[in-house]
Amino acid sequence: MTNEKDIPDQTKGSSKDIQEVAHCKTPDEAHWLFNQGRYKLLNVNNWNEWCGNGADFCLMDETGEHLEGVANVGDFIRIDIPGPGSNEGMGYDWVKIVDIKDGDDLFTMTVKPASDPNAETNDTTHFFDKDASSTFEVSLHDNDVLAAVHGRNEKPNTEVRNFFDKIRNFVVGKTAIAGFANLQWNRLVKGVLDRD
């Protein structure tokens, strides 16, 4: 499992750690699966294939334009969750990739709630507030490969000007904290380790 220093500190709100482990027959097989997992996490536009129905993820640049290829620090992820979207985010929730660590046996990518790059304000357009984070991990442990999502400081984003968004973020944030988002992340970590 990832070292705690690779995950933002938990200081408020809720946290979650969702993980799945794949056992491989040989170190070579495990190394192959680890590299596949890294590739899958970097290819945000394909997350929908690996985590099934639910939220829709799209990699975007700093101007809000769709990006092809692999994710980089500074890129945005536009998220379309089922149900009503954010008014400020033009119907979407937004996160920014703030850190990527890519080693021989550990890959992590951390995202934080962000504003819509096309918005006129800098208001965070996500149901969690700006201090929340999600760290996506794939790591190699001898013949085992672990995939995980680590959520930290998850607190509904009610510090917004738009009244509809304030209510929507409170309801969606509380629902996510209560476990609804876990279904999505469970599908993602299983998809990252899928050998098909």
Q: pLDDT by residue (tens digit) across 93-147? A: 899 999 999 999 999 999 999 998 888 778 888 888 999 999 999 999 999 999 9
In a domain, 4, yes or no: no
Q: How many domains does the chain have?
A: 1
Rg (CA), the chain: 16
Residue 147: closest CA among 36, 52, 25, 7 = 36
Q: Which residues is 76 bridged to in the sheet? A: 60, 96
In the structure, how many helices (H) and strands (E) does the chain have? 4, 7
Produce one character per residue of 152-186: b if its CB has 16 or more CB atoms within 10 Å, e if not: bbbbbbeebeeeebeebbeebbeebbeeebeebbb
Is 6 part of a structural domain of the chain? no
Q: If pLDDT is split at 50, 70 and 90, which confidence band does 53 have? A: low
Structural domain contains residue 106: yes
User: Has residue 87 been placed in a domain?
Assistant: yes
Burial zone of 80 (CB within 10 Å; 0-12 exposed, 13-18 middle, 19+ buried)? middle
Residue 77 domain-assigned?
yes
Confirm whether 3 is domain-assigned: no
Does the structure show a pLDDT above 70 at 178? no
Position 151 scores a pLDDT of 93
Q: How many CA atoms lie within 13 A of 7 on its CB side?
A: 22
Average per-residue pLDDT in the chain?
87
Task: Report pTM.
Answer: 0.90
User: Which ranges in 20-162 belong to alpha helices (H)?
Assistant: 27-42, 47-51
Tell me which residue range forms the domain holding 137. Answer: 12-192
Q: How confident is the model at residue 3 (pLDDT cuts 50, 70, 90)?
A: low
Report the relative pairing of strands 76-80 and 93-102 from DSSP bridges: antiparallel
